[in-house]
């Protein structure tokens, strides 16, 4: 039982899980502050001939009410402790654990951003430039080169100036208790305070629900991360022929000084693997 300091938190989903599993959630409490004031006897109240004599003292009670909300860190920590105490969460599940879709898990390990999320920014930039230039043909995508001045400037703005983009990210967590590959889907807009993508790598714990189970010998395409925001049919067309293009983009990014591992996740995730939908990172 520890006080957690999340860098990423989907509080609504966490509280929904608590409600579903009948876990108490700390709520704001109304604090009533009461002040007693004694009025002395002998005074007069009223105006002119209607004035009345006062012979005895009387008590007057004044009330002021305000809400004192519990601290978010304490709330989150207590809710997570409650879910674990109720055995609603698989904590550091081992290889023989029976995990199913939507099961809650807490996994600890070393996280890093995968190549597919590095390159998703490139395709986001490509799409933005295509819209700006009025390009409507998918075939024109091949004419966009990361060494083109406009493209290079846009990529530098994203990578060197740390422009925040509305993109989900795919992390890989290594060193966990599970024997197969573990990936984490981190959606945008749930970062706490100043946390951002540069806080996602390193040692951390992940609380989330099982999003995808990928058996050995099967694979899952990565278009929801790589081509986020692109139209569905265009994503399908592009993913059918994109693997070679990804290798080329990887090489071009390397020439720009961005280190993208060749053997990382590109067009698909191969099993055996598990993808966790993040609720909290801490």
Q: Is residue 136 part of a domain?
A: yes
Q: Is residue 65 part of a domain?
A: no
Q: What average pLDDT does the segment 138-143 reach?
A: 58
Collect all residues with Cβ–Cβ distance below 8 Å to 170 and sequence separation of at least 6.
113, 114, 116, 117, 183, 184, 185, 186, 222, 225, 265, 275
Who wins on pLDDT, 43 or 111?
Answer: 111
Q: What is the pTM of this model?
A: 0.75
Q: Does residue 206 contact residue 264 with C-beta atoms inside 8 Å?
A: no
Distance CA 188, CA 9 (A): 10
Q: Is residue 131 part of a domain?
A: yes
Who wins on pLDDT, 168 or 149?
Answer: 168
Q: What is the number of structural domains in the chain?
A: 1
To the nearest 10°, report the CA torsion of 232, 237, 240, 245. Answer: -100
Q: Is residue 70 part of a domain?
A: no
Distance CA 44, CA 114 (A): 81
Who wins on pLDDT, 49 or 93?
Answer: 93
Q: Is residue 260 part of a domain?
A: yes
Of 225, 239, 111, 235, nearest to 168 by C-alpha is: 225
- Interhelix angle 115-132/243-255, rounded to 10 degrees, is 90
pLDDT digits (tens, 9 = 90+) for 6-49: 888 898 899 999 999 999 887 655 555 555 555 444 443 333 33
Q: Does residue 114 contact residue 183 with C-beta atoms inside 8 Å?
A: yes
Q: Is residue 256 part of a domain?
A: yes
Query: Which whole-number Å values give the CA distances from 26 to 3, 73, 102, 189, in the listed order?
Result: 14, 11, 25, 24
Token code pair at residue 178? 């599970």
Q: Residue 142 above 60 pLDDT?
A: no
Token code pair at residue 29? 């409490």
Q: Does residue 151 contact residue 142 with C-beta atoms inside 8 Å?
A: no
pLDDT > 90: percent of the chain: 32
Residue 158: which domain range?
Answer: 89-281
Q: Is residue 101 part of a domain?
A: yes
Q: Is residue 17 part of a domain?
A: no
pLDDT band at 257 (very low <50, low <70, confident <90, very high): low
Instruction: Return the pLDDT at 275.
Output: 97
Distance CA 190, CA 250 (A): 29
The separation between CA 34 and the C-alpha centre of its own chain, rounded to angstroms, equals 42
Question: 181 has which bridge partners?
Answer: 273
């Amino acid at each position: 039982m520890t006080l957690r300091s999340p860098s990423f938190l989907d509080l609504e989903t966490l509280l929904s899980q608590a409600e579903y599993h009948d876990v108490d959630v700390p709520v704001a409490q109304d604090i009533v502050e009461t002040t007693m004031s004694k009025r002395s006897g002998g005074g007069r109240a009223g105006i002119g001939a209607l004035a009345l004599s006062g012979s005895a003292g009387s008590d007057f009670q004044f009330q002021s009410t305000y809400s004192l909300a519990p601290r978010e860190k304490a709330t989150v920590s207590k809710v997570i402790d409650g879910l674990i105490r109720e055995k609603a969460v698989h904590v550091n599940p081992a290889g023989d654990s029976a995990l199913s879709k939507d099961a809650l898990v807490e996994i600890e390990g070393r996280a890093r951003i995968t190549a597919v999320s590095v390159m998703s920014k490139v395709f986001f930039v490509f799409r933005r430039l295509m819209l700006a230039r009025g390009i409507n043909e998918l075939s024109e995508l091949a004419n966009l080169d990361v060494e083109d001045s406009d493209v290079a400037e846009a990529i530098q703005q994203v990578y060197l100036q740390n422009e925040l983009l509305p993109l989900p990210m795919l992390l890989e967590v290594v060193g966990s208790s599970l024997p197969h590959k573990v990936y984490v889907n981190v959606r945008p807009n749930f970062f706490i305070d100043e946390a951002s993508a540069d806080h996602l790598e390193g040692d951390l714990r992940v609380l989330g629900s099982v999003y995808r189970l990928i058996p050995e010998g099967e694979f899952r395409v990565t278009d929801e991360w790589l081509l986020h925001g692109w139209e569905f049919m265009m994503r399908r067309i592009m993913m059918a022929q994109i693997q070679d293009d990804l290798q080329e983009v990887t090489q071009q990014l390397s020439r720009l000084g961005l280190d993208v591992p060749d053997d990382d996740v590109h067009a698909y995730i191969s099993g055996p693997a598990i993808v966790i939908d993040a609720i909290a990172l801490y």
